[in-house]
Protein backbone atom coordinates (compact mmCIF):
# COMPACT_ATOMS: atom_id res chain seq x y z
CA UNK A 1 0.00 0.00 0.00
CA UNK A 2 1.46 3.37 -1.03
CA UNK A 3 1.48 6.39 1.30
CA UNK A 4 -0.95 8.11 -1.06
CA UNK A 5 -3.46 5.22 -1.04
CA UNK A 6 -6.60 5.60 1.05
CA UNK A 7 -8.87 3.04 2.66
CA UNK A 8 -11.60 4.21 0.33
CA UNK A 9 -9.34 3.57 -2.69
CA UNK A 10 -8.85 -0.04 -1.61
CA UNK A 11 -12.55 -0.65 -0.92
CA UNK A 12 -13.53 0.94 -4.20
CA UNK A 13 -11.01 -1.16 -6.13
CA UNK A 14 -11.75 -4.55 -4.57
CA UNK A 15 -15.43 -4.27 -3.65
CA UNK A 16 -16.62 -1.89 -6.37
CA UNK A 17 -18.52 0.35 -3.97
CA UNK A 18 -18.74 4.10 -3.45
CA UNK A 19 -18.32 6.03 -0.20
CA UNK A 20 -22.09 6.17 0.42
CA UNK A 21 -22.11 2.36 0.62
CA UNK A 22 -19.61 2.26 3.50
CA UNK A 23 -20.71 2.17 7.14
CA UNK A 24 -18.37 2.74 10.06
CA UNK A 25 -18.74 1.38 13.57
CA UNK A 26 -18.76 4.61 15.57
CA UNK A 27 -18.32 3.08 19.01
CA UNK A 28 -15.01 1.95 20.43
CA UNK A 29 -15.18 -1.84 20.73
CA UNK A 30 -12.40 -4.05 22.00
CA UNK A 31 -10.58 -5.67 19.10
CA UNK A 32 -10.77 -9.14 20.69
CA UNK A 33 -14.57 -8.90 20.86
CA UNK A 34 -14.72 -7.88 17.21
CA UNK A 35 -12.49 -10.76 16.14
CA UNK A 36 -14.53 -13.25 18.16
CA UNK A 37 -17.80 -11.91 16.75
CA UNK A 38 -16.69 -12.14 13.13
CA UNK A 39 -15.24 -15.62 13.71
CA UNK A 40 -18.67 -16.68 15.00
CA UNK A 41 -20.31 -15.03 12.01
CA UNK A 42 -17.92 -16.57 9.49
CA UNK A 43 -18.14 -20.06 10.94
CA UNK A 44 -21.87 -20.10 11.61
CA UNK A 45 -23.31 -23.33 10.26
CA UNK A 46 -26.84 -23.17 11.54
CA UNK A 47 -29.20 -25.97 10.56
CA UNK A 48 -32.10 -23.68 11.38
CA UNK A 49 -34.28 -22.02 8.77
CA UNK A 50 -35.01 -18.30 8.93
CA UNK A 51 -38.43 -19.05 10.41
CA UNK A 52 -36.92 -21.26 13.11
CA UNK A 53 -34.46 -18.54 14.10
CA UNK A 54 -37.27 -16.00 14.33
CA UNK A 55 -39.33 -18.37 16.48
CA UNK A 56 -36.39 -18.56 18.92
CA UNK A 57 -35.74 -14.80 18.92
CA UNK A 58 -37.26 -14.08 22.34
CA UNK A 59 -34.74 -16.39 24.00
CA UNK A 60 -32.24 -13.53 24.03
CA UNK A 61 -34.45 -11.86 26.66
CA UNK A 62 -34.52 -15.00 28.83
CA UNK A 63 -32.22 -14.60 31.85
CA UNK A 64 -31.91 -18.38 32.13
CA UNK A 65 -30.20 -18.64 28.75
CA UNK A 66 -26.39 -18.64 28.88
CA UNK A 67 -24.24 -15.88 27.44
CA UNK A 68 -22.72 -18.26 24.88
CA UNK A 69 -26.17 -19.33 23.67
CA UNK A 70 -27.21 -15.70 23.32
CA UNK A 71 -24.06 -14.97 21.31
CA UNK A 72 -25.05 -17.67 18.83
CA UNK A 73 -28.63 -16.45 18.62
CA UNK A 74 -27.57 -12.84 18.07
CA UNK A 75 -25.26 -13.90 15.24
CA UNK A 76 -28.07 -15.98 13.75
CA UNK A 77 -30.47 -13.03 13.91
CA UNK A 78 -27.83 -10.76 12.38
CA UNK A 79 -27.50 -13.13 9.41
CA UNK A 80 -31.14 -12.69 8.41
CA UNK A 81 -32.36 -10.16 5.88
CA UNK A 82 -35.36 -9.62 8.06
CA UNK A 83 -36.83 -6.49 9.70
CA UNK A 84 -38.21 -8.53 12.60
CA UNK A 85 -34.69 -9.75 13.38
CA UNK A 86 -33.43 -6.16 13.31
CA UNK A 87 -36.18 -4.95 15.67
CA UNK A 88 -35.46 -7.82 18.05
CA UNK A 89 -31.77 -6.97 18.31
CA UNK A 90 -32.64 -3.28 18.60
CA UNK A 91 -35.02 -4.04 21.49
CA UNK A 92 -32.39 -6.17 23.23
CA UNK A 93 -29.88 -3.31 23.06
CA UNK A 94 -32.18 -1.14 25.17
CA UNK A 95 -31.69 -3.44 28.19
CA UNK A 96 -28.79 -5.78 27.38
CA UNK A 97 -26.57 -7.93 29.52
CA UNK A 98 -23.55 -5.65 29.98
CA UNK A 99 -21.23 -8.42 28.79
CA UNK A 100 -23.14 -8.64 25.50
CA UNK A 101 -23.70 -4.99 24.66
CA UNK A 102 -20.83 -4.71 22.17
CA UNK A 103 -21.72 -8.10 20.69
CA UNK A 104 -25.35 -7.09 20.19
CA UNK A 105 -24.30 -3.74 18.75
CA UNK A 106 -22.17 -5.49 16.12
CA UNK A 107 -25.09 -7.82 15.37
CA UNK A 108 -27.38 -4.83 14.84
CA UNK A 109 -24.94 -3.20 12.43
CA UNK A 110 -24.42 -6.43 10.49
CA UNK A 111 -28.16 -6.99 10.17
CA UNK A 112 -28.74 -3.38 9.10
CA UNK A 113 -26.08 -3.73 6.42
CA UNK A 114 -27.73 -6.90 5.09
CA UNK A 115 -31.15 -5.24 5.01
CA UNK A 116 -29.85 -2.17 3.22
CA UNK A 117 -27.96 -4.28 0.69
CA UNK A 118 -31.15 -6.19 -0.10
CA UNK A 119 -33.50 -3.20 -0.20
CA UNK A 120 -31.15 -1.06 -2.28
CA UNK A 121 -29.82 -3.95 -4.37
CA UNK A 122 -26.20 -2.84 -3.93
CA UNK A 123 -23.10 -3.96 -2.07
CA UNK A 124 -22.50 -2.54 1.39
CA UNK A 125 -19.34 -2.63 3.53
CA UNK A 126 -19.05 -2.39 7.30
CA UNK A 127 -15.73 -1.13 8.69
CA UNK A 128 -14.89 -1.91 12.29
CA UNK A 129 -11.83 -0.81 14.25
CA UNK A 130 -10.98 -0.78 17.92
CA UNK A 131 -11.23 3.02 18.10
CA UNK A 132 -14.38 3.31 16.00
CA UNK A 133 -15.25 6.34 13.92
CA UNK A 134 -17.46 9.36 13.48
CA UNK A 135 -19.69 9.76 10.44
CA UNK A 136 -17.49 8.94 7.44
CA UNK A 137 -14.29 9.38 9.46
CA UNK A 138 -12.10 6.78 11.17
CA UNK A 139 -10.53 7.44 14.56
CA UNK A 140 -6.76 7.14 14.98
CA UNK A 141 -4.28 7.45 17.84
CA UNK A 142 -0.95 9.02 16.85
CA UNK A 143 2.29 9.74 18.68
CA UNK A 144 4.98 12.17 17.54
CA UNK A 145 8.19 12.22 19.54
CA UNK A 146 11.31 14.33 19.59
CA UNK A 147 14.37 13.10 17.76
CA UNK A 148 16.55 13.08 20.90
CA UNK A 149 13.93 12.31 23.57
CA UNK A 150 14.06 15.83 25.00
CA UNK A 151 10.89 17.52 26.33
CA UNK A 152 8.78 19.41 23.79
CA UNK A 153 9.20 23.18 24.29
CA UNK A 154 6.38 25.73 24.33
CA UNK A 155 7.39 26.92 20.87
CA UNK A 156 7.44 23.36 19.52
CA UNK A 157 3.98 22.73 20.98
CA UNK A 158 2.68 25.77 19.12
CA UNK A 159 4.30 24.57 15.89
CA UNK A 160 2.77 21.08 16.20
CA UNK A 161 -0.70 22.50 16.98
CA UNK A 162 -0.47 24.98 14.13
CA UNK A 163 0.59 22.39 11.55
CA UNK A 164 -2.04 19.89 12.74
CA UNK A 165 -4.84 22.45 12.61
CA UNK A 166 -3.79 23.70 9.18
CA UNK A 167 -3.50 20.22 7.63
CA UNK A 168 -6.65 18.90 9.30
CA UNK A 169 -8.76 21.89 8.25
CA UNK A 170 -7.74 21.32 4.62
CA UNK A 171 -8.63 17.63 4.81
CA UNK A 172 -11.83 17.70 6.87
CA UNK A 173 -10.12 15.95 9.80
CA UNK A 174 -10.47 16.79 13.50
CA UNK A 175 -8.25 16.64 16.57
CA UNK A 176 -10.30 15.26 19.46
CA UNK A 177 -7.61 15.30 22.14
CA UNK A 178 -3.92 16.11 22.31
CA UNK A 179 -1.53 15.53 25.20
CA UNK A 180 2.05 16.75 25.54
CA UNK A 181 4.12 14.69 27.94
CA UNK A 182 7.92 14.56 28.20
CA UNK A 183 9.23 13.99 24.67
CA UNK A 184 5.86 12.92 23.22
CA UNK A 185 2.87 14.50 21.59
CA UNK A 186 0.00 12.00 21.53
CA UNK A 187 -3.40 12.71 20.07
CA UNK A 188 -6.66 11.14 18.91
CA UNK A 189 -8.14 12.27 15.62
CA UNK A 190 -10.92 11.44 13.20
CA UNK A 191 -9.97 11.45 9.52
CA UNK A 192 -12.19 11.00 6.42
CA UNK A 193 -11.89 7.72 4.53
CA UNK A 194 -10.75 9.43 1.34
CA UNK A 195 -7.70 11.05 3.02
CA UNK A 196 -4.35 9.19 2.62
CA UNK A 197 -3.45 8.97 6.32
CA UNK A 198 0.23 8.07 6.00
CA UNK A 199 0.84 10.80 3.46
CA UNK A 200 -1.00 13.31 5.68
CA UNK A 201 1.19 12.67 8.73
CA UNK A 202 4.41 12.42 6.73
CA UNK A 203 3.71 15.95 5.50
CA UNK A 204 2.82 17.26 8.97
CA UNK A 205 6.07 15.93 10.46
CA UNK A 206 8.03 17.38 7.54
CA UNK A 207 6.40 20.80 7.96
CA UNK A 208 7.07 20.79 11.72
CA UNK A 209 10.71 19.97 11.06
CA UNK A 210 11.08 23.03 8.84
CA UNK A 211 11.29 24.83 12.21
CA UNK A 212 14.37 23.17 13.66
CA UNK A 213 14.10 19.46 12.85
CA UNK A 214 12.94 18.54 16.34
CA UNK A 215 10.62 15.61 15.51
CA UNK A 216 11.72 12.06 14.69
CA UNK A 217 10.68 11.19 11.11
CA UNK A 218 8.86 8.01 12.19
CA UNK A 219 5.75 8.08 14.35
CA UNK A 220 3.21 5.70 15.89
CA UNK A 221 -0.26 5.45 14.37
CA UNK A 222 -2.99 2.95 15.20
CA UNK A 223 -6.76 2.61 14.98
CA UNK A 224 -6.90 -0.31 17.42
CA UNK A 225 -6.56 1.38 20.83
CA UNK A 226 -5.27 4.40 22.71
CA UNK A 227 -1.82 3.47 24.01
CA UNK A 228 -0.63 4.42 27.48
CA UNK A 229 2.87 5.75 28.07
CA UNK A 230 4.27 2.36 29.09
CA UNK A 231 3.02 0.82 25.83
CA UNK A 232 4.49 3.69 23.82
CA UNK A 233 7.86 3.30 25.51
CA UNK A 234 7.79 -0.44 24.88
CA UNK A 235 7.06 0.00 21.17
CA UNK A 236 9.84 2.53 20.80
CA UNK A 237 12.30 0.28 22.60
CA UNK A 238 11.36 -2.74 20.45
CA UNK A 239 12.11 -0.71 17.35
CA UNK A 240 15.38 0.69 18.77
CA UNK A 241 14.04 4.23 18.63
CA UNK A 242 14.93 5.00 22.24
Tell whether 196 and 158 lie within a shared domain.
yes
Tell whether 170 and 206 lie within a shared domain.
yes
Tell whether 202 and 115 lie within a shared domain.
no
**Can you give the residue range of the structural domain that contains 107?**
30-127
Single out the residue in 82, 107, 127 at which a domain terminates: 127
Work out the pLDDT band at 9, boundaries 50, 70, 90.
low
Tell whether 157 and 108 lie within a shared domain.
no
Is the overall model pTM greater than 0.95, yes or no?
no
Tell whether 167 and 109 lie within a shared domain.
no
Eight-class DSSP state of 215: B
**What pLDDT, on a 0 to 100 scale, did the predictor assign at position 241?**
55
The domain that holds 213 is classified in CATH as: 3.30.70.1290
User: What angle separates helix 67-78 from helix 101-120, to the nearest 10 degrees?
Assistant: 10
The residue among 204 and 13 whose pLDDT is bigger is: 204
**What pLDDT, on a 0 to 100 scale, did the predictor assign at position 111?**
92
**What pLDDT, on a 0 to 100 scale, did the predictor assign at position 188?**
95
Q: What does the pLDDT average to over 24-50? A: 83
Tell whether 143 and 121 lie within a shared domain.
no
What is the C-alpha to C-alpha distance for residues 36 and 94, in angstroms, rounded to an integer?
23
Work out the pLDDT band at 117, boundaries 50, 70, 90.
confident
Provide DSSP, 2-68.
-TT--HHHHHHHHH---GGGEEE--S---HHHHHHHHHHHHH------HHHHHHTGGGGG-TTS-HH
**pLDDT over 80 at 8, yes or no:** no
**What pLDDT, on a 0 to 100 scale, did the predictor assign at position 207?**
96
Residue 5 lies in a domain: no
Single out the residue in 127, 162, 182 at which a domain terminates: 127
Long-range Cβ contacts of 102-108 (<8 Å, 24+ apart): 102/27, 102/29, 102/30, 102/33, 103/33, 103/37, 103/71, 103/74, 104/74, 105/25, 105/27, 105/29, 106/25, 106/29, 106/33, 106/34, 106/37, 106/78, 107/37, 107/74, 107/75, 107/77, 107/78, 108/78
Single out the residue in 104, 127, 150 at which a domain terminates: 127
Residue 19 lies in a domain: no
Tell whether 138 and 228 lie within a shared domain.
yes
Q: Is 131 exposed, middle or buried (0-12, 13-18, 19+ CB in 10 A)?
A: buried
Residue 213 lies in a domain: yes
Number of domains in the chain: 2
Work out the pLDDT band at 1, boundaries 50, 70, 90.
very low
**pLDDT over 90 at 75, yes or no:** yes
Residue 11 lies in a domain: no
Tell whether 157 and 199 lie within a shared domain.
yes
**What pLDDT, on a 0 to 100 scale, did the predictor assign at position 180?**
92
Q: Is 136 exposed, middle or buried (0-12, 13-18, 19+ CB in 10 A)?
A: middle
Tell whether 141 and 233 lie within a shared domain.
yes
The residue among 11 and 226 whose pLDDT is bigger is: 226
Amino acid sequence: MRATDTLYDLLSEYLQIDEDSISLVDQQIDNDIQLEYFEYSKNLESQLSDDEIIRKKDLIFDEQISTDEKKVLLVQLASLKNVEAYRTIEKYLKRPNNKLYDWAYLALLENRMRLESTLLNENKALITTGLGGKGNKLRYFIVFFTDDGSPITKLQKKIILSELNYAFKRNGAEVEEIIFEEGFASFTTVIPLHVPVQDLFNKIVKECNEFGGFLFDDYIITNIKVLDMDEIQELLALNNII
